[in-house]
Amino acid sequence: MLLTFVVAGVGAYFGAYLQEKGKGLATKEDVGQITEIVEQVKTDIGQQDWAKREWTNLRRVKLEEFLNHAHGVVRYVEATERSAGRGKLNDLHDPRAELQTLGELYFPELYEEQRQFLGAASIRIMNASYYSEELIKANGRADETRAAFGTYMERRDVGAIADGQTALRAAARALLLRIMPASGSAEA
């Protein structure tokens, strides 16, 4: 009978021991799985953070390109007007399409300012083209040339494109400050 108690005691001890050992192994396995999940989440967040930084940097670079195209539009308008004064059409590259594409792809926030700026530029280009056509029709006749110039000057709104460009630059600056705050943490 003593042997039965000893065997029962040893069995109970090893049973409890093995049960605790099993709990420990299960906990260790759970910790391993949790660690793996945490590492995956860290990786995902790191990739999202990297993508956000890259998008912010791309937008910063494209904003500079966008504003360079806006300056190009002003230069194009001025060249078109100079050509029109000689009775010729401007054959230079028109950068309005590139400006519009950059705006649509990267800066929908600037839509209204871009629309007003491009609208003012387009009106000036159209008026210069009409002026050029009228000068060609006048064929050097002084009275018709003066009349064409007078009509051109009445339609020419120098302030609209300047105001549009100023508003576009101000909106672009505000956008830059929003996407690239001074603290260094970037928001897209």
Asked if residue 51 lies in contact with residue 186, where contact means CB atoms within 8 angstroms, the answer is no
Q: What's the token pair of residue 138?
A: 């006048």
- Computed from CA positions of residues 81, 83, 114, 59, in that sequence, does the dihedral angle turn out positive or negative? negative
Question: What's the one-letter identity of residue 43?
Answer: T
Q: Please write the tens of the pLDDT for every residue from 58-107.
A: 999 999 999 999 999 999 999 999 999 888 888 899 999 999 999 999 99
Greater pLDDT, 16 or 124:
124
Is residue 187 scored above 50 in pLDDT?
Answer: no
Q: Does 188 fall in a domain? A: no
Task: For residue 79, tell me if it sits in a domain.
Answer: yes
The answer on pLDDT for 20 being more than 90 is no
Domain that holds residue 169: 50-179
Q: Residue 16: inside a domain, yes or no? A: no
Mean pLDDT, range 120-126, rounded to an integer = 95
Whether 138 is in a domain gets the answer yes
User: Does residue 14 fall inside a structural domain?
Assistant: no
| Predicted pLDDT at 155 | 87
**Total number of domains in the chain:** 1
Q: Is residue 65 part of a domain?
A: yes
Q: Give pLDDT tens digits for 133-165.
A: 898 899 989 999 999 899 988 888 889 999 999
> d(Cα 108, Cα 140) in Å, to the nearest integer?
47
The verdict on residue 40 lying in a domain is no
CA distances from 131 to 70, 109, 154 (A): 24, 35, 11
Burial class of residue 160, CB neighbours in 10 A (0-12, 13-18, 19+): middle
Is position 10 within any domain? no
| Spatial distance between the Cα atoms of 79 and 30, rounded to a whole number of angstroms | 72
* Position 116, amino acid: Q
pLDDT given for residue 45 in this prediction: 75
